[in-house]
Amino acid sequence: MENQVADTGQTMLDEVVEGLRKSQKQLPSKYFYDERGSELFEQITRLEEYYPTEIERSILNQNIDAIADSIGSKAMLVELGSGSSSKTRLLLEKLDSLASYVPVDISEEYLLKIVSNLRIEYPRISIIPVFADYTSHFKLPSLGDSYSQQVLFYPGSTIGNFLPEKARSFLSTLADITDPDAGMLIGVDLKKDKQLLESAYNDEDGITAKFNKNMLKRINRELGADFEINLFAHKAYFNEQEGRIEMHLVSQKKQEVQIADETFVFNKGESIHTENSYKYTLDEFEDLVSDSFSVEQVWTDEDDYFSVQYLSKK
């Protein structure tokens, strides 16, 4: 909960400076997603090496009938994060009996664009955008008895960006703001061969490297910092101990960076930790959600690279 107060109460400058003062320098991964960052992420999802997007889509596709059964008819489908993806469309196509689709996103401009397109494509579904940071306490629209049950949709294994303790508290916050019979459809990336994991974050085309370095460009532009982008190298590896992919930006020489009126010294080889992407076993994930949710169904691909799970509130 402390984190959530910090998330909403601190400015980007506060958070950046605070992260860079730590002995292991760090930056919050949410700052990847400015306009250019979102575009680069789109490119990542189309990379040969980045298996999660394609596999999740195919799991949804292949199990759409069972998934539709879990969601039930007249549901309020609440998507956490941008609702632009083809995954959302896959559900909206199939679930013609949805009472409403509620995309929750922090970017108002982006959300309005998506919503106006979806309203044209799915005129029979009532679409109710909520502008909010879904990681802090937000309110779902009160739609009386116009729906049967609330179902949260959280694809892409974005849950993996949270430290496990934060994921637990996030899930319990979600449980707090939903009806007693709410469900959740969630995408979870699974533990697998280290080489496969690492190549997904070290693509041949260097798109992930651009995505990582774009954070520094953003900080230069928005906070007037003077990072020399070319003096930082992308590094991503699987930390087996922690069960997570870590992304870093590694200083290629001893250098100084100025932000506001503060100077940050980087030694040669010193890194900024920019992202964690946790990978779970099915048992680990079941334990992670167990304070607030029960795992009702698990769908995976034939290699068990990725899972889509239906959870219900305890």
Distance of CA 10 to the CA centre of its chain: 20
Contact 261, 223 (CB under 8 A): no
Residue 197 near residue 50 (C-beta atoms within 8 A)? no
- Give the pair of three-digit tokens for residue 94: 């199939």
Beta-carbon contacts of 42 under 8 Å, excluding residues fewer than 6 positions away, are none
Candidates 4-12, 154-162, 261-269, 283-291: pick the segment binding ligand AVJ (CB under 6 A). Answer: 154-162
For residue 294, the minimal CB distance to ligand AVJ (Å) is: 24
Closer residue to ligand AVJ in complex, CB, 44/174: 44
Among residues 52 and 147, whose Cβ is nearest to ligand AVJ? 52
- Would you say 232 and 251 are in contact if contact means Cβ atoms under 8 Å apart? yes
Helix (H) or strand (E) holding 226, with range, is: none
Q: Nearer Cβ to ligand AVJ, position 41 or 101? A: 41
Q: Which is nearer to ligand AVJ, 245 or 259 (CB)?
A: 245
Quick one: 52 or 129, whose CB is closer to ligand AVJ?
52
3 vs 73: CA distance, rounded Å: 36
User: Which of 63, 45, 65, 61 shows the shortest CA–CA distance to 53?
Assistant: 45
CA atoms within 13 A of residue 114's CA, in its CB half-sphere: 25
Q: Is 271 in the site for ligand AVJ (CB under 6 A)?
A: no
* Closest residue to ligand AVJ: CB criterion: 277
Torsional class of 243: left (φ above 0), alpha (ψ -120 to 50), beta (otherwise): left
How many beta carbons lie within 10 A of that of residue 198, not counting itself? 14
Q: Is 208 in the site for ligand AVJ (CB under 6 A)?
A: yes
Restricted to residues 77-116, the positions that interact with ligand AVJ (CB under 6 A) are none
Integer Cα distance of 203 and 212 in angstroms = 12
Q: Near ligand AVJ by CB under 6 A, which window of 56-64, 141-149, 150-158, 166-174?
A: 150-158
Q: Which helix (H) or strand (E) holds 269?
A: none
* Residue 214 Cβ vs ligand AVJ, minimum distance, rounded to whole Å: 11
Q: Which of 147, 153, 154, 201 binds ligand AVJ (CB under 6 A)?
A: 201
Contact string 15-54 vs ligand AVJ (x = CB under 6 A)? -----------------------------x-------x--
In three-state secondary structure terms, 110 is helix
Of 52 and 183, the one with the shorter C-beta distance to ligand AVJ is 52
Kindly tell me which residue out of 26, 84, 277, 309 binds ligand AVJ, with binding defined by CB under 6 A: 277
How far apart (Å, rounded) are the C-alpha atoms in residues 139 and 147?
16
Nearer to ligand AVJ, 49 or 270 (CB): 49
Assess 275 for contact with ligand AVJ (CB under 6 A). Answer: yes
**Of 135, 149, 161, 309, which lies in the binding site for ligand AVJ, with binding defined by CB under 6 A?**
161
Segment contacting ligand AVJ by CB under 6 A, of 152-160, 173-181, 214-222, 253-261: 152-160
Task: Compute the distance between CA of residue 122 and CA of residue 114 in angstroms, rounded to an integer.
Answer: 12
State the burial class of residue 186 (Cβ atoms within 10 Å of its Cβ: 0-12, 13-18, 19+).
buried
Smallest distance, Å, CB 239 to ligand AVJ? 13
Q: Least separation, in Å, of the C-beta of 142 and ligand AVJ?
A: 30
**Residue ranges in contact with ligand AVJ by CB under 6 A:** 44, 52, 156-158, 160-161, 201, 208, 275, 277
